[in-house]
């Protein structure tokens, strides 16, 4: 996880509470089609992995059910794709 966060050009934190496995799989597929990643990681692990990376400033936001969308090339693309999915699924925050 630390390697992925240190290479990331953009990271979007999401709250996936209430989403089904099928909905999460759909989100992952949408992101994967654009060479993006989505991971559900324990908050403690994410806080440790974020140290010495650009995401360290957001470590305090890691509370509750958090999913991490990671983009490596275009920093705006990851946010666009997450918002595109949100239009079809209002459970994602």
pLDDT in tens, 12-58: 999 999 999 999 999 999 999 999 999 999 999 999 999 988 888 88
Per-residue pLDDT at 27: 97
What's the rounded mean pLDDT across residues 50-74? Answer: 90
Say whether pTM exceeds 0.85.
Answer: yes
Cβ distance 27 to 84 under 8 Å?
no
Picking from 28, 11, 12, the residue whose alpha carbon sits closest to that of residue 20 is: 28
Q: What is the DSSP letter of 84?
A: H
Per-residue pLDDT at 61: 87
């Amino acid at each position: 996880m630390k390697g992925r966060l240190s290479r990331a050009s953009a990271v979007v934190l999401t709250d996936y509470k209430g989403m089904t496995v099928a909905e999460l799989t759909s989100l992952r597929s949408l992101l994967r089609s654009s060479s993006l990643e989505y991971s559900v990681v324990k908050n403690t692990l994410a806080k440790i992995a974020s140290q010495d990376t650009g995401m360290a400033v957001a470590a305090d936001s890691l509370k509750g059910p958090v999913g991490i969308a990671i983009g490596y090339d275009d920093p705006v693309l990851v946010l666009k794709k997450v918002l595109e999915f949100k239009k079809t699924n209002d459970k994602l925050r």
